[in-house]
Amino acid sequence: MKNRRNLYLAALILSGLCFAGCGDDDENGKLPEQELSEEYYTGGKLGTTFNSTSFAYEQPTAVVDESPELLLQFKRGETLFEHEFTSNTEGVRRGLGPVSVRSSCLSCHPGYGHGKRMDRYRAKDSGNGYLLVVTDANDNYVSQLTGMPQTQAVYPYLPPIDESGIKIEWKNYTDEYGNVFPDGETYSLIYPEVTIERSAINVPMPDFYKVRLEATIGIYGTGLIDAIPDDSIIAQYQYEKSLGFTLNDAKYLPENFIREADGTSHPGRYTYGLTRGTLQNGPGANAIWNITNVTRSDRRYHYITTAYATAMSQNSDIQEKLGKTEQEIYADLMSRELPAEMSDNDYIDFMVWHRGLAVPAARNLDDPTVKKGKEKFYEIGCTACHRPSWTTGADKYTGDPMVKDKLPRYPYQKIRPYSDFLQHRLAMVNDIRTGWCRTTPLWGRGLSEKSTGASEHLHDMRARNYNEAILWHGGDAKLTKERYRNLSKTDREALIKFLESI
Ligand code: HEC
Ligand code: HEC
């Protein structure tokens, strides 16, 4: 977050002094002059920011902004997201040992949004938001590697994967329509193929393994998504089921709900895989431990596998450099009683920041082209999965005792994420693991280029723009895609203008 209050003040002052030329520069966090329709409040009245600058994804919600105490915590938490952790044994932001996926959250979530499409995998390449997904012949994660495999190690350890052996190739794809719209306009599609040389992997591997990429998802607004009642998500599942959609039914058997520390269980709502049901045990709360391998009081162990600990402890070079025996190294690596590197207070600040991020307000909704595009978006059935709005509940869940009663809340807000928070199979070549992918929220994505320097889409960033993203839709979305293909060029462009404005 960059000096929101100052920008806000400057904008208020400037708004009285505006001459020709400053008409479209009214975006620095200034509140709208005339009463905007409710539809502009993408994150509801409590969760929307009117900042649409390159810092649009980094702003606090009104709940945080209005509480000096929360705002201070938010700012402290923000540094834990933005700054690099180090392998130091003293001082701030300690971690990374013995192995890590990245040194900071921001290195994968540039500008707090999606990452960039990349031609190579290097943990140090800024904006590389990719996770490696390494699976076996049954499409299960290879158990010798962590679910999020690491390519960084602290001396003298070796990384599980040496990244010089990772290769990303982008292949051309011709769809069943020969990459031509009915009106004759052509397009091109590409998708990634990833391999890792066996010799670059420092743990034993099965005979067959396959590698794919998963790209980051925006972080803003995840606190508002957290406030949607479980029952509403289950009702959406039942509704789409009644419409005949093919859904990942196993996820909605109560015995498969995600169990939390407080004994409650919840249907998944976060990540492409719907693997997380609450923010308090969400992708961020876990990432601050496993991405950076930072221990905290409730996680006093490393994010590594026994296969890795075995391989490293048996490595004579490592034994020599550490001056320790195999048994000692193994015990160190697998210890469940490591000192906490992150204090409880830091973790609480981090979670206040996490639940405190606002969603950028919609823009240009009264523009005639945008209005036309909206009509088309509804008419051709995109809203079946990109459900426009949800209403949050009482927002009283307190799962994790560490943050109990400390996080900002968003009761009874009408929010507009444009997602059903369910998974579909869009049936694309070299698809995501299992083929099931949560509908990605579309809110705020139009600001991606401005906020992150990149505007690719889909789970592995194969779509270089909105048009390509839509053209990759198959499975239950095929009919809708065909309707899109049959729109006039002007209407297709209007639909995309609408997507850019929400
Ligand atoms: C290696 C790159 C990488 C790093 C570093 C990283 N993330 Fe992510 N993040 C991802 C990917 C990839 C996804 C989507 C993955 C999925 O669906 O499983 C994601 C998803 C998320 C989401 C879920 C959004 C949603 O709508 O479901 C949140 C929240 C998040 N990350 C927060 C964080 C935080 C906080 C950190 C730092 C502690 C962090 N991430 C570090 C790659 C990364
Ligand atoms: C059957 C459900 C379904 C329908 C119908 C559908 N989508 Fe999607 N949409 C998805 C899913 C699932 C994803 C995530 C796919 C992935 O990342 O591989 C997605 C992703 C997207 C994305 C990329 C989001 C991002 O930033 O990565 C865009 C843009 C999009 N859809 C637009 C549309 C439009 C426009 C329509 C109507 C023509 C539409 N969708 C219809 C399910 C659907």
- Give the atom of ligand 1 at the shortest distance from the alpha carbon of 225: 26
Task: Reply yes or no on whether the pLDDT at 33 is more than 70.
Answer: no
The stretch 426-454 carries a mean pLDDT of 95
Average pLDDT of every residue of the chain: 92
- The pLDDT of residue 1: 55
- The pLDDT of residue 30: 56
Task: Reply yes or no on whether the pLDDT at 32 is more than 70.
Answer: no
Pocket perturbation via mutation, ligand 2, pick of 117, 433, 439 by most ligand atoms within 8 A of CB:
439
- Other Cβ atoms within 10 Å of 27 Cβ, number: 18
- The pLDDT of residue 17: 33
**CB of 56 closer than 6 angstroms to any ligand 1 atom:** no
The stretch 68-94 carries a mean pLDDT of 90
| Residue type present at position 18 | C
**CB of 470 closer than 6 angstroms to any ligand 2 atom:** yes
Distance 386 CA to ligand 2 centre (A): 7
**CB of 440 closer than 6 angstroms to any ligand 2 atom:** yes
- 473-479 LR contacts (CB < 8 Å, sep 24+): 473/426, 474/426, 474/427, 474/428, 475/246, 475/424, 475/425, 475/426, 475/427, 476/245, 476/246, 476/385, 476/424, 476/425, 476/426, 477/385, 477/424, 477/426, 478/427, 479/381
Task: Reply yes or no on whether the pLDDT at 304 is more than 60.
Answer: yes
Beta carbons of 361 and 416 less than 8 angstroms apart: no
- What pLDDT, in 10s, does the model give residues 117-134? 999 999 999 889 999 999
Task: Reply yes or no on whether the pLDDT at 21 is more than 60.
Answer: no
The stretch 391-414 carries a mean pLDDT of 95
**CB of 432 closer than 6 angstroms to any ligand 1 atom:** no
- What does the alpha-carbon distance between residue 289 and residue 270 come to, in Å, rounded to a whole number? 17
Q: Which residues of 277-305 are buried (b: 16+ CB within 10 A; e: fewer)?
A: bbbbbbbbbbbbbbbbbbbbeebeebbbb
Task: Reply yes or no on whether the pLDDT at 18 is more than 80.
Answer: no
- Sign of torsion over alpha carbons 48, 51, 57, 62: negative
CA 461 to chain centre: 12
Most confident of the ranges 82-91, 119-128, 283-292, 374-383: 374-383
**CB of 221 closer than 6 angstroms to any ligand 1 atom:** no
- What does the alpha-carbon distance between residue 77 and residue 85 come to, in Å, rounded to a whole number? 13
Beta carbons of 78 and 353 less than 8 angstroms apart: yes
452: confidence class by pLDDT, cuts 50, 70, 90: confident
**CB of 357 closer than 6 angstroms to any ligand 1 atom:** no
**CB of 1 closer than 6 angstroms to any ligand 1 atom:** no
Nearest to 441 by CA among 467, 416, 461: 416
- What does the alpha-carbon distance between residue 358 and residue 43 come to, in Å, rounded to a whole number? 7
Return the residue whose CA atom lies nearest to atom 32 of ligand 2.
470
- What does the alpha-carbon distance between residue 59 and residue 52 come to, in Å, rounded to a whole number? 10
382: confidence class by pLDDT, cuts 50, 70, 90: very high
Return the residue whose CA atom lies nearest to atom 43 of ligand 2.
385
- What does the alpha-carbon distance between residue 214 and residue 225 come to, in Å, rounded to a whole number? 21
**CB of 382 closer than 6 angstroms to any ligand 2 atom:** yes
**CB of 386 closer than 6 angstroms to any ligand 2 atom:** yes
- What does the alpha-carbon distance between residue 497 and residue 119 come to, in Å, rounded to a whole number? 28
**CB of 454 closer than 6 angstroms to any ligand 2 atom:** no
- What does the alpha-carbon distance between residue 64 and residue 351 come to, in Å, rounded to a whole number? 12
Pocket perturbation via mutation, ligand 1, pick of 219, 274, 433 by most ligand atoms within 8 A of CB:
219
Pocket perturbation via mutation, ligand 2, pick of 241, 383, 440 by most ligand atoms within 8 A of CB:
440
Distance 439 CA to ligand 2 centre (A): 6
Lowest mean pLDDT among 4-13, 207-216, 449-458: 4-13
Here the tokens at position 77 are 């938490």
- Give the atom of ligand 2 at the shortest distance from the alpha carbon of 114: 26
Cα 92 to Cα 26, 174, 375, 405: the distances in Å are: 38, 51, 51, 26
Tokens 């990605």 correspond to what residue?
A: 440
| Residue type present at position 126 | S
Here the tokens at position 316 are 């004579």
Distance 221 CA to ligand 2 centre (A): 18
Return the residue whose CA atom lies nearest to atom 26 of ligand 1.
270
Nearest to 270 by CA among 437, 114, 421, 110: 421
Nearest to 369 by CA among 197, 489, 211: 489
**CB of 217 closer than 6 angstroms to any ligand 1 atom:** yes
- What does the alpha-carbon distance between residue 125 and residue 107 come to, in Å, rounded to a whole number? 8
Task: Reply yes or no on whether the pLDDT at 174 is more than 90.
Answer: yes
- What pLDDT, in 10s, does the model give residues 420-437? 999 999 999 999 999 999
- CA of 445, nearest ligand number: 2
Beta carbons of 223 and 403 less than 8 angstroms apart: no
- What does the alpha-carbon distance between residue 487 and residue 498 come to, in Å, rounded to a whole number? 15
Which residues, in sequence order, are CB contacts of 345 under 8 Å at separation 6+? none
- The pLDDT of residue 134: 98
- The pLDDT of residue 188: 97
Burial class (CB in 10 A: 0-12, 13-18, 19+), 490: exposed
- CA of 443, nearest ligand number: 2
Cα 230 to Cα 222, 243, 254, 329, 408: the distances in Å are: 15, 20, 12, 44, 19
Distance 88 CA to ligand 1 centre (A): 24
- Other Cβ atoms within 10 Å of 182 Cβ, number: 11
**CB of 85 closer than 6 angstroms to any ligand 1 atom:** no
**CB of 418 closer than 6 angstroms to any ligand 1 atom:** no
Beta carbons of 457 and 365 less than 8 angstroms apart: no
Pocket perturbation via mutation, ligand 2, pick of 216, 385, 465 by most ligand atoms within 8 A of CB:
385
Here the tokens at position 84 are 């690099």
Which residues, in sequence order, are CB contacts of 15 under 8 Å at separation 6+? 26, 30, 33
Beta carbons of 349 and 76 less than 8 angstroms apart: yes
- What pLDDT, in 10s, does the model give residues 337-368? 999 999 999 999 999 999 999 999 999 999 99
Task: Reply yes or no on whether the pLDDT at 20 is more than 80.
Answer: no
- Give the atom of ligand 1 at the shortest distance from the alpha carbon of 272: 17
Return the residue whose CA atom lies nearest to atom 25 of ligand 2.
457
- The pLDDT of residue 34: 67
- The pLDDT of residue 29: 54
Here the tokens at position 82 are 């933005």
Beta carbons of 441 and 218 less than 8 angstroms apart: yes
- What pLDDT, in 10s, does the model give residues 175-231? 999 999 999 999 999 999 999 999 999 999 999 999 999 999 989 999 999 999 999
Burial class (CB in 10 A: 0-12, 13-18, 19+), 229: middle
**CB of 222 closer than 6 angstroms to any ligand 1 atom:** yes
Task: Reply yes or no on whether the pLDDT at 26 is more than 60.
Answer: no
Pocket perturbation via mutation, ligand 2, pick of 191, 272, 377, 426 by most ligand atoms within 8 A of CB:
426
Here the tokens at position 146 are 């962590």
Distance 272 CA to ligand 2 centre (A): 12
The stretch 282-292 carries a mean pLDDT of 93
The stretch 309-313 carries a mean pLDDT of 97
- What does the alpha-carbon distance between residue 450 and residue 468 come to, in Å, rounded to a whole number? 20
Task: Reply yes or no on whether the pLDDT at 110 is more than 90.
Answer: no
